[in-house]
Each structure stands twice: as C-alpha cells, then as structure tokens.
Chains A and B, each alone.
Chain A
Amino acid sequence: MTQKTELECLQDIPNIDALAQNFTFIDDLTLRKNIAIVFQYIIFLITLEKNHSLPGAVSYVIYKDMIIHTASITESLLCYGLKKALEKGKTTIETMDIEENIYKDFIKIREISSTEIVGGVTKVKKYVEPQDMQFNDLIPAAIHIGLINPAFENELKIIRQSRNRVHLSSLSRVDNLYTKEEVDNMFATVKKLKTSIISYLN
C-alpha cells in the first residue's frame, strides 16, 4: 500500500466547522467546537493507523486513545444533556438524584489515642450539579430523568470502564487487547446518545 505523507493525511480530514455541523443541537459553541476537534483527532488517528505499517502494540494504543477520546465526548454529551434539561425546566436536580454528604462542625467528645478521636458532626445532604458529577454519576442521573433508556446503561458503562483503563497501575492484565470493532461499537453508542438527547430536549 502506498504510504501517504503527513500532510496528505491531514488534507483528507474534514475541517472543524464541517465536523461541528453534526452537533448543531449543542448551542454551547465552545463545547460544539471542542467535540469537533476531538472527532478531527480521532479521524487523524485512523488515517495514521491505516496509512502506516505499525507494530500491533502501537495500533492497540491508537485504539485505546480513540476510546479515551470517545469517552470524553460521551461524558460531555451526558453533562450537556443534563444541564440543558435543567435549564429548559424539563426536570429538577432532585429528580437527577445524585447526592453527596458534607460533614461539618466537628465537635470533639473524647480522644481515644493520638490517631483516633470520638466526635460529632453535622451531616448536610447536597444534590450534585451536572457539571460537578463524575462519569459514574452522569449515567444514573440521565436514567433518572429519562434522558436515556435504562437498557442503554450497560453500553455507557462499557465506555466508562474502558476509559478507566487509562490508569495503568490498576490493570491486572497486559493492556493490549483493543479492537477496531470495540471502538466502532462505542461510536454507535455515542450516536444513540446523541439521538436520545436531541429527542429529550426537543
């Protein structure tokens, strides 16, 4: 296969504005453009992988890179959907039902040792705003308000879990088992998510 030069590879990739056209439902122009930039980079990675004879491990890491960026798009779409749902008054923060507890006003009662103290605190329950949610919270919040179908949960979890493989120290196996099909399935999930968000917000 003829290998293309760097510049030829780049010339085959749609520009940011063209890619952003697929996300016009996002009225936050910064987010729309940032998503388009990530897609441009993903396409660049594919051209790189397709146009060069790369060692297997490098290809796996390219797939992994695509997974990580796909996860960041997924996370940002979920967050956007939730924020917009609140803004449009389609739901409430209570319906999202993602809570955190804050403990304050510690009062010391008794000291057991130099490392242990018995005391009392005021526990304050607070609902978490979408922009402060972790990926792990965004999925149930989206289900609670009906932004996504519960049957869709596992697909989103797969993306989140795959993204977490970025933490090398927590892996129990050699991290080289990514496939093109796995990555493309994630793109299918993003497409479904996009459709759900458009339908919910309209």
Chain B
Amino acid sequence: MTKKNMELQKKNLNKLKNIIEKYGGDTNVTNTRGTAVWLKKVGYPSLADLIYHDAKN
C-alpha cells in the first residue's frame, strides 16, 4: 500500500468513526453526576435527582 493510500484509508476510518460516534454509538460520559449538577443549574432539579445514580437503588 502506498503512503498516499494509507493516508486515505486513515482519513476514511476517521470519517467512519465520527459517523458512528454521531449517529450509531454512544457518548463517553460514564456517570451522571456532572449532568445532574448542570441540570440543577439550568432549572431541572427534579430531573437531576432522578438521573443522578443513588447507590441504594
């Protein structure tokens, strides 16, 4: 494979990764704490309580 082809393939793979992330994958945020803090700040305290993981449940 030529250097040019390798670069093209790398570029295409990155494009594909972006498409998967945007439309088919999931986010990388693995806890809800930060979102809960933000939700409280923007006026959704009850939603924040609902989505912030409570270890007891």
Contacts and interface: CB of A to CB of B under 8 A. Distances in A.
Contacts, number: 89
A22 B52 CA distance: 7
Contacts of B34: 12
Interface in A4-25: 6-7, 10-19, 21-25
B29 A15 contact: yes
Contacts of A14: 27, 29-32, 35, 51
Contact of A198 (B28, B30, B57): B57
Interface string A14-43: 111111011111000000000000011011
Interface stretch (A84-92, A108-116, A128-136, A182-190): A182-190
A194 interface: yes
Contact of A25 (B28, B31, B52, B57): B57
Contacts of A7: 18, 21-22
Given A13-B29, A22-B53, A43 B35 contact: yes
Contacts of A23: 57
A21 B42 CA distance: 23
Contact of B22 (A6, A13, A19, A39): A6
A184 B40 CA distance: 10
A168 to B, nearest CB: 26
Contact of A187 (B26, B30, B35, B47): B47
B27 A15 contact: yes
A22 B21 CA distance: 24
Contact of B44 (A13, A15, A24, A180): A180
B50 A187 contact: yes
A123 interface: no
Nearest to A180: B43
A10 B22 contact: yes
Interface string B15-29: 000100110001111
Given A10-B22, A12-B38, A21-B32, A39 B51 contact: yes
A198 B57 CA distance: 8
B44 A46 contact: yes
Interface of B: 18, 21-22, 26-32, 34-35, 38-39, 42-47, 49-54, 57
